[in-house]
Structure 1
Amino acid sequence: MPAFNLNETRIAFMLSIEKFRYMAMADDRQRLMPLPEDRVPPRGKELAYPEAVLLVDPVEPEFKGEVDDKYQYSCENKDNKVHGFICLDPPVGFWQITPSNEFRTGGPIKQDLTSHVNPTTLAMFMSTHYGGQDFVTQFESGEQWKKVFGPVFIYLNSVADKNDTLSLWDDAKERMHKEVDCWPYSFASSEDFPKADQRGAIRGRLLVNDRCISKEYLSAKGAFVGLAPPGNAGSFQKECKGYQFWTNSDDEGYFSIQNVRPGGYNLYAWVPGFIGDYKYEKSIAITAASDVDIGELMYEPPRSGPTLWEIGIPDRSAAEFYVPDPDPQYINKLYINQPENKLIF
Structure 2
Amino acid sequence: MALARTALHGIIFLATFTIFACLNDLRPTAGAADVTVHVEGENVVLDNGIVQLTLSKPEGSITGVQYHGVDNVMEVIEKEDHRGYWDLVWNPSDRDSGIYQKVYGTEFEVVQRDANHVEVSFRTQWDPSHRGKLVPLNIDRRFVMLRGSSGFYTYAIYEHLQGLPDVNLGETRVVFKLRKDKFHYMAIADNRQRIMPMPDDRGEGRSEKLAYPEAVRLTDPINAALRGEVDDKYQYSSDNKDSMVHGWISSDPSVGFWVITPSIEFKSGGPVKQDLTSHVGPTALAMFVSSHYSGVDTVPKFRNGEYWKKVFGPVFIYLNSAPDKSDPKLLWGDAKKQVEVEKWPYEFPASEDFHKSEKRGSVSGRLRVLDKNISKEYINGNAAFVGLASPGEAGSWQRESKGYQFWVRADVEGNFFIKNVRTGVYNLYAWVPGFIGDYKSSVNITVTSGNHIDLGNLVYNPPRDGPTLWEIGIPDRSAAEFFVPDPDPKYINRLYVDHSDRFRQYGLWERYADLYPDGDLIYTIGVSNYRKDWFYAQVTRKDGQGSYQATTWQIRFRLGSVRRNGPYKLRVALAASQLSELQVRFNNPRVQPAHFTTGLIGRENSIARHGIHGLYWLFSIDVESSWLLGGDNIIFLTQTRGQSPFNGVMYDYIRMEAPAGTVASTDDVA
Q: Which amino acid aligns with 2:407?
A: W
**2:426 aligned with 1:238, yes or no?**
no
2:232 is matched with: 69
SS at structure 2 position matched to 1:7: strand
Deviation at 1:74, TM superposition (A): 0.3
**How many residues are aligned here?**
343
State the alpha-carbon separation in 1 of the partners of residues 229 and 253 from structure 2.
Answer: 27
Aligned residue number for residue 99 of structure 1: 262
After superposing the two structures, state which structure 1 stretch, 178-187 or 165-174, moved more: 165-174
Report the alpha carbon displacement of residue 142 of structure 1 after superposing the two structures with TM: 2.2
Task: Return closer, same or farther for 1:339/1:245 CA change in 2, 3 Å cut-off.
Answer: closer
Gap runs ≥5 in structure 2: 1-163, 503-529, 534-670
- Correspondence for 2:489: 328
Deviations 1:115-163 (A, max 9, x none): 0001100000000101112122211142211000000001101111523
Write out the 4+ residue segments of structure 1 that deviate beyond 6 Å after TM superposition: none
Change in 2 beyond 3 A, CA 1:339/1:122: closer
Q: Distance in 1 between matches of 2:394 and 2:267?
A: 19
Shift of 1:310: 2.1
Counterpart in the other structure of 1:180: 341
Partner in structure 2 of residue 201 of structure 1: 362
Mapping 1:151-166, distance limit 5 Å: 151-166=314-329
Identity of aligned residues (%): 62
Helix, strand or coil at the partner of 2:313: coil
Partner of 1:9: 172
Change (3 A) 1:189 1:133: same
Structure 2-normalised TM-score? 0.50
Q: Which residue of 2 aligns with 1:313?
A: 474
Specify which of 249, 266, 276 is matched with residue 437 of structure 2: 276
Indicate the residue corresponding to 1:137 in structure 2. 300
Cα deviations by residue, 1:20-60 (Å, 9 ceiling, x for unpaired): 01000001100111111111212122211111111122222
In 2, distance between residues paired with 1:79 and 1:303?
Answer: 32
Q: Distance in 2 between matches of 1:130 and 1:320?
A: 19
- Residue 319 of structure 1: how far off its partner (Å): 3.4
Distance 2:413 2:429 in 1: 18
Residue aligning to 1:223: 384
- Map Cα deviations across residues 222-258 of structure 1 (whole Å, 9 max, x no partner): 1000000010000001001000000011111111100
Q: Aligned pair 1:84/2:247, yes or no?
A: yes
Task: Tell me the equivalent position of 1:343.
Answer: 531
1:13-24 matches, within 5 Å, as 13-24=176-187
Report what 1:168 is aligned to.
331
1:131, 1:291 → 2: CA distance?
Answer: 33
- Once the two structures are overlaid, the 10-residue window that deviates more, 47-56 or 232-241, is 47-56
Deviates more, 1:134-143 or 1:29-38: 134-143
Give, in whole Å, the separation in 1 of the partners of 2:215 and 2:388.
Answer: 36
CA deviations on 1:46-77 (whole Å, 9 max, x unpaired) are 21111111112222221111110000000101
Give the TM-score taking structure 1 as reference length. 0.97
Return the structure number with greater relative CO, CA threshold 8 A, min gap 6.
Answer: 1
Correspondence list, 1:44-63, <5 A: 44-63=207-226
Structure 2: distance between partners of 1:50 and 1:157 = 34
Letter of the 2:214 partner, please give it.
E
Separation (CA, whole Å) in 1 of partners of 2:498 and 2:462: 38
Q: Secondary structure at the residue paired with 1:2? A: coil
Task: Tell me which residue corresponds to 2:600.
Answer: none
Query: Residue 253 of structure 2 contacts residue 324 of structure 2 at CA under 8 Å; is this kept in 1?
Result: no
Deviation at 1:340, TM superposition (A): 6.9
Cα distance in 2 for partners of 1:252, 1:211 equals 19
**Residue 305 of structure 1: how far off its partner (Å):** 1.2
The answer for unaligned runs of 5 or more in structure 1 is none
Per-residue Cα deviation, 1:196-233 (whole angstroms, up to 9, x for no partner): 12100000011111000001111111100000001000
Q: What do you get for the CA RMSD once the two structures are aligned?
A: 1.4
In the other structure, the counterpart of 1:256 is: 417
Q: 1:271 to 1:89 in 2, by over 3 A?
A: same
AA paired with 2:375?
Answer: S
Q: Is residue 406–residue 421 contact of structure 2 (8 Å, CA) maintained in 1?
A: yes
SS of 2:326's equivalent in the other structure is helix
**Greater fraction of residues in strand:** 2
Paired with 2:415 and 2:252, the residues of 1 have a C-alpha distance of 48
SS state of the match for residue 156, structure 1? strand
* 8 Å CA contact 2:201, 2:218 repeated in 1: yes
Confirm whether residue 285 of structure 1 aligns to residue 446 of structure 2.
yes
| DSSP 3-state at the match of 1:94 | strand
The letter for the 2-side match of 1:151 is P
Asked if the contact 2:243/2:277 (under 8 Å) is kept, the reply is yes
